[in-house]
A and B are shown apart, each in its own frame.
Chain A
Amino acid sequence: MKLISKSRKPSGRLVRFWFIFLGICISIPLFYTGNKLLKMTSTDEYCMSCHIHPTADQSWKMSTHYNNKSGVIVSCSECHLPPKGHGYFFAKAKHGIKDAYGFYFKDSTKIDWEKKKLLENAKGFVYEKSCLECHRNLFPVTLSVNGGNAHLLYTTSTDPLSCLNCHLNVGHYDRNAAAHAHDTSFGITVTSNEPPFAEPAKVESFESFTEMIPGTRVSFRMIALPAGSFNMGSSEDEPLRDPDEGPVRKVALPKFWIAETEVTWDEYMAFFRATSSQGRTEGQAVSTKKTDAISGATPPWGAPDQGWGRGSRPAITMSWYAANVYCQWLSQVTGKHYRLPTEAEWEYACRGETVTPYFFEGNPKKLSSEGFLKKLFGPDTSLIGSRVVYNVNSGSKTMEPSFVKANPFGLKNMAGNVAEFCSDFYSPDFYKADSTGINPAGPAKGQEHVIRGGSFKSDAKDLRSASRDCTKTKAWLVTDPQMPKSKWWYSDCIDVGFRVVLVIDSITGK
């Protein structure tokens, strides 16, 4: 604009000419090389020259985006950058800078690649717009009934739903990935040849004991906790606390038993084998009444153990409802009264009479990996790493209980590994509302239930004994292709399990 106003003078015209002429001279080669540079830095070879970490190359070649019957090869940048016109240049610059930094300043072997594969992380470098750029027809004639239902849900859902929710492993093959099929053989294989337990444990006195599930080889430890009172919640000066953890109040509890570990796959599979139902309508409402025959979970979709193995790893992906039916069933086969812990029982058990943020020594602020500097230098993990399975040491999956040391009460994985269901409804204000503090059982009404303890995905902040969270039923079922959604299995939650408690007054006559 300035040039135009100047151009009234004759000399101005000349300036304008040279300006445009030189502009053209400079920009043609610039444009040409720039374009060439862009192309060159977007080839698969260029990507692979740095992305040499395990799996990237090989797993891509084994995936359906490379190894398919039509012979089409989908390049790195076709998924990991948005289509042109949808923030392509910005994303290219952003990832370019990040990758260059990572390449020169970080040790590739120390990066947790497994963690990057998790859904929430993958969303950061796989672009949904790019999926839809090629996959323009979401309803091909060959689409299955379940696929049709799922895509119908996707196109009509008001909740955030991404292609990756269901199609996480299409770009990089993952042997352990949950197969997208109805696993009707789930839990059918039985491996043990030893004679099964004939009787459940007999409990004569209030001591820790080993429970045995009759008809199986499965047993687990129940730890006796003394009656007592403790300060529940966190004080306002506790680092990284959330407001729903206060005010701190004194809570008194009678003595009870709690399981040493989270319910294992072995334990849960015993339940599944004994009660699984084929139909989806046969489940029954949670009730305290004794029932003759308990009808349990339907076969799950995919692999609920995520391919990490079962055994003594904690059982995951079962719904809160399923966990309750498990307790009913366990009570029936052992002749005792097992149930989920209340939130108060859980925190009492977790603290093991400690009053610090963790049951071991440590400042949440120093242990947390959140924040820029922490990401650069990493927190000191020498002590916490031997006590808790969390995002720093988990390799993004559950661990066996032997991986950690117990808390002062002798319980394992209270703080990490998987988060745990409690029986209470969740309310952020409950601590304010509950003034009596005698064996509280949470609000009378509610939507979601309390979950406690961090998981293998958690930051140190959420491992604190007072930290609270709740179930998120809708989000955890967002990709369930069934309608109505399963009440037995969560399709989109892989880091919550539970442990059982046994209360004294349920053993009648003692």
Chain B
Amino acid sequence: MKNIDRRKFIGKAAMAGIGLAGAGAVITSCKRKTEVADLKLPPVLKGAPKGKKLRAGLIGSGDRGTGAAINFISSGPDLEIIALADVFQDKIDACRQRFASFNLPIPAENCFTGFDGYKKLMALPDVDIVLLATPPQFRPEHFLEAVKMNKHVFLEKPVAVDPVGIRSVITSAKKAEAIGLNVVTGTQRRHQEDYIATYIQVMNGAIGTITSAKAFWNQNHVWYREREPGWNDMEYMIRNWNNFCWLCGDHILDTHVHNIDVINWFMGRHPEKAIGYGGRARRVTGDQYDFFSVDFDYGNGVSSHSMCRQIDSCANGTGELIMGTEGYTNCQNTIWDLKGNVKWKFEYPKDENGNQMETILIPPYVQEHMHLVYAIRTGNYVNEAEQTAISTLTAIMGRTAAYTGRAVTWDEIFKSDMDLGPQTIEMGPVDMVFETPVPGTSVISNVKPLYKGQII
């Protein structure tokens, strides 16, 4: 009661608007429109609507950042990238060159290097939107600054690597909401038309009541960099960020968060507790695990089994599966009954030659930017930061359960003061211990702020 009362003012109307728009765009044939509107789904768009020119700055101009920037400009008319920030000059150069090759030059005076480059970029008054695509360690700080400087935000997932960061993101999300800054996150499955259609089926009872779930992201090994002469500790770690927990959050966050987010979405809640295993068998650099297996307990006997692995030559694959009392679904496009007969399948569009396609027309990476621009230009407010923060924290809860061997509850992880990484971020030597966590050892368990400075 108390919470409902208090939150009355925060964007109920806005959410309803988005839901309606989503309903209209997704399934014009659906007879139960009011119910679909209640699901608060993002719109599925063919392109962002026309409107006032929007200028974006990219923070973190590596491969994903550059990709996000291209996704952004291709999502609709009158969209520009006008500024870049990155810790490294070479990353900026590569990104600028890429844009120059599209005949879309980015002025050199709008490109900023160093750890405070983002501040200089956000101080530019012409920048309306910032795309935050650095390693997730830096996301909370960047998001907070963006809200302070009145920028709309595209927030790449995962949104933080530790609970201190998660709480910062949720707080910033609420600040953004209060002043009407739109935020779209990079959990793109929520913007994928086939997932959305399947979600509507499930919410209309196609599989009955959900009883269990499975989420998996098992893949080959991922990239790593070996240290080159002349790189100091900090430079090495940031160039090899995908292999250090304090920068990346481990791959249960980096990639598997997509699947975890889908399960949270379909369940309509986050888990209450996690117990899990993990280990490091074949990784070459850094301090992270290369496999996890976590049981997320959603209460009332409902669990989701989460797996993720980055090892070659294994039974690999990614996706989700949700089991209900009357059937099951892969969440993406198909619903089966309990005997394995297909009950429903999403109809993909046909290509120019009339052949049935196997994917949706507009990539979800572009769709999410269409949504952001749509929200800004039409006033249908969107803010996905909190929901993605919750899913990221779910992954952190699973990671902590595996690292420590302990059962980790939601309350414990939500309130934890785990704050990974060095106190000050600067180029040079870094005084940190790089132990790979071993479950059940005293590294973790004796004092309450379990992890700080000990697991990285």
A85 and B278 alpha carbons, distance in the complex (Å): 56
User: Which residues in A have their C-beta under 8 angstroms from that of B6?
Assistant: 132, 138, 155
A26 and B348 alpha carbons, distance in the complex (Å): 73
Interface residues of A in 108-156 (CB under 8 A from B): 132, 136-141, 143, 145, 148-149, 151-152, 155-156
User: Which residues in A have their C-beta under 8 angstroms from that of B168?
Assistant: 145, 148
From the candidates A136, A149, A280, A484, name the one contacting B9 in the complex (CB within 8 A).
A136
Asked if A285 lies at the interface with its beta carbon under 8 angstroms from chain B, I say yes
A303 → B minimal CB distance (Å): 23
A140 engages B178 (CB within 8 Å): yes
B387 → A minimal CB distance (Å): 15
Once A155-B7, A484-B415, A484-B416 are accepted as A-B contacts, the answer to whether A281 and B174 lie under 8 Å apart by CB is no
From the candidates B175, B446, B452, name the one contacting A141 in the complex (CB within 8 A).
B175
Closest chain A residue to B173 by CB distance? A139
From the candidates A145, A281, A482, name the one contacting B447 in the complex (CB within 8 A).
A281
B419 → A minimal CB distance (Å): 11
User: Which residues in B have their C-beta under 8 angstroms from that of A149?
Assistant: 167, 171
Asked if A37 lies at the interface with its beta carbon under 8 angstroms from chain B, I say no
Once A283-B447, A483-B416 are accepted as A-B contacts, the answer to whether A155 and B3 lie under 8 Å apart by CB is yes
A280 and B448 alpha carbons, distance in the complex (Å): 10
User: Which residues in A have their C-beta under 8 angstroms from that of B163?
Assistant: 483
A280 and B418 alpha carbons, distance in the complex (Å): 12
Once A149-B167, A285-B446 are accepted as A-B contacts, the answer to whether A139 and B175 lie under 8 Å apart by CB is yes
A245 and B449 alpha carbons, distance in the complex (Å): 38
Asked if A487 lies at the interface with its beta carbon under 8 angstroms from chain B, I say yes
User: Which residues in B have their C-beta under 8 angstroms from that of A141?
Assistant: 147-148, 175, 178-179
Asked if B297 lies at the interface with its beta carbon under 8 angstroms from chain A, I say no
Interface residues of B in 407-456 (CB under 8 A from A): 414-417, 446-449, 452
A151 and B177 alpha carbons, distance in the complex (Å): 15
B418 → A minimal CB distance (Å): 10
A152 and B147 alpha carbons, distance in the complex (Å): 17
Asked if B170 lies at the interface with its beta carbon under 8 angstroms from chain A, I say yes
User: Which residues in A have their C-beta under 8 angstroms from that of B9?
Assistant: 136-137
A484 engages B147 (CB within 8 Å): no
A379 and B140 alpha carbons, distance in the complex (Å): 59
Once A280-B417, A285-B446, A483-B417 are accepted as A-B contacts, the answer to whether A152 and B167 lie under 8 Å apart by CB is yes
Once A136-B9, A141-B148, A143-B171 are accepted as A-B contacts, the answer to whether A484 and B179 lie under 8 Å apart by CB is no
B455 → A minimal CB distance (Å): 13
Q: Mark B379-395, 1 if CB is under 8 A from A, else 0.
A: 00000000000000000
B171 engages A152 (CB within 8 Å): yes
B3 engages A484 (CB within 8 Å): no
A1 → B minimal CB distance (Å): 35
Q: Mark B166-189, 1 if CB is under 8 A from A, else 0.
A: 011011001101110000000000
Interface residues of A in 149-173 (CB under 8 A from B): 149, 151-152, 155-156
| Chain A interface helix/strand/loop/mixed | loop
B168 → A minimal CB distance (Å): 7
User: Which residues in B have their C-beta under 8 angstroms from that of A155?
Assistant: 3, 6-7
Chain A's interface size range is: 20 to 34
A285 and B416 alpha carbons, distance in the complex (Å): 19
User: Which residues in A have their C-beta under 8 angstroms from that of B167?
Assistant: 148-149, 152, 483
B302 → A minimal CB distance (Å): 21
B5 → A minimal CB distance (Å): 8
User: Which residues in B have their C-beta under 8 angstroms from that of A483?
Assistant: 163, 167, 415-417
User: Which residues in A have their C-beta under 8 angstroms from that of B417?
Assistant: 280, 482-484
B128 → A minimal CB distance (Å): 17
A149 and B414 alpha carbons, distance in the complex (Å): 11
User: Which residues in A have their C-beta under 8 angstroms from that of B415?
Assistant: 483-484
Interface residues of A in 455-510 (CB under 8 A from B): 482-484, 487
A281 engages B449 (CB within 8 Å): yes
A440 and B446 alpha carbons, distance in the complex (Å): 30
Closest chain B residue to A139 by CB distance? B174
B420 → A minimal CB distance (Å): 14
B178 engages A280 (CB within 8 Å): no
A132 and B3 alpha carbons, distance in the complex (Å): 12
A139 engages B447 (CB within 8 Å): no
B449 engages A484 (CB within 8 Å): yes
A452 and B417 alpha carbons, distance in the complex (Å): 34
A180 and B178 alpha carbons, distance in the complex (Å): 25
Once A141-B179, A280-B417 are accepted as A-B contacts, the answer to whether A484 and B171 lie under 8 Å apart by CB is no
A140 engages B175 (CB within 8 Å): yes
A394 and B114 alpha carbons, distance in the complex (Å): 60
A484 engages B448 (CB within 8 Å): yes
Interface centre among A137, A151, A487 (most CB of B within 10 A): A137
Once A145-B168, A148-B167, A483-B417 are accepted as A-B contacts, the answer to whether A138 and B452 lie under 8 Å apart by CB is no
User: Which residues in B have their C-beta under 8 angstroms from that of A156?
Assistant: 3, 414
A139 engages B7 (CB within 8 Å): no
A491 → B minimal CB distance (Å): 14
User: Which residues in B have their C-beta under 8 angstroms from that of A139?
Assistant: 171, 174-175, 177-178
A285 and B445 alpha carbons, distance in the complex (Å): 12
User: Which residues in A have their C-beta under 8 angstroms from that of B452?
Assistant: 281
Closest chain B residue to A483 by CB distance? B415
Interface centre among A139, A140, A482 (most CB of B within 10 A): A139
A283 and B449 alpha carbons, distance in the complex (Å): 11
User: Which residues in A have their C-beta under 8 angstroms from that of B416?
Assistant: 483-484
B48 → A minimal CB distance (Å): 27
A145 and B148 alpha carbons, distance in the complex (Å): 13
B171 engages A148 (CB within 8 Å): yes
A151 and B178 alpha carbons, distance in the complex (Å): 14
A140 and B144 alpha carbons, distance in the complex (Å): 12
A53 → B minimal CB distance (Å): 33
A503 and B5 alpha carbons, distance in the complex (Å): 56
Closest chain A residue to B454 by CB distance? A281
User: Which residues in B have their C-beta under 8 angstroms from that of A152?
Assistant: 167, 170-171
A325 → B minimal CB distance (Å): 14
B385 → A minimal CB distance (Å): 12
Q: Mark B127-151, 1 if CB is under 8 A from A, else 0.
A: 0000000000000000000011000
A469 → B minimal CB distance (Å): 26
Closest chain A residue to B453 by CB distance? A281
Interface residues of B in 1-37 (CB under 8 A from A): 3, 5-7, 9
A27 → B minimal CB distance (Å): 34
User: Which residues in A have their C-beta under 8 angstroms from that of B449?
Assistant: 280-281, 484
Once A155-B3, A155-B7 are accepted as A-B contacts, the answer to whether A137 and B178 lie under 8 Å apart by CB is yes
B178 → A minimal CB distance (Å): 5
A487 engages B174 (CB within 8 Å): no
Interface residues of A in 318-344 (CB under 8 A from B): none
Q: Mark A271-299, 1 if CB is under 8 A from B, else 0.
A: 00000000011010100000000000000
A341 and B73 alpha carbons, distance in the complex (Å): 72
A132 and B5 alpha carbons, distance in the complex (Å): 10
A482 and B167 alpha carbons, distance in the complex (Å): 12
Q: Mark B97-115, 1 if CB is under 8 A from A, else 0.
A: 0000000000000000000
User: Which residues in A have their C-beta under 8 angstroms from that of B446?
Assistant: 285
A487 engages B448 (CB within 8 Å): yes
Closest chain A residue to B150 by CB distance? A141
B2 → A minimal CB distance (Å): 9
Closest chain A residue to B412 by CB distance? A484
User: Which residues in A have their C-beta under 8 angstroms from that of B177?
Assistant: 139
Q: Mark A244-281, 1 if CB is under 8 A from B, else 0.
A: 00000000000000000000000000000000000011
A482 and B168 alpha carbons, distance in the complex (Å): 13
The 7 closest A-B pairs by CB, nearest first: A148-B171, A139-B174, A483-B415, A137-B178, A139-B175, A281-B449, A141-B175
A sample of 22 inter-chain contacts (CB < 8 A) reads A137-B9, A139-B171, A139-B174, A139-B175, A139-B177, A140-B178, A141-B175, A141-B179, A149-B171, A152-B167, A152-B170, A152-B171, A155-B3, A155-B6, A155-B7, A156-B3, A280-B417, A281-B447, A483-B416, A483-B417, A484-B415, A484-B417
With contacts A148-B168, A487-B448 known, what are 10 further pairs, Cβ within 8 A?
Answer: A132-B6, A139-B177, A141-B148, A149-B171, A152-B167, A152-B171, A283-B447, A483-B415, A483-B417, A484-B415
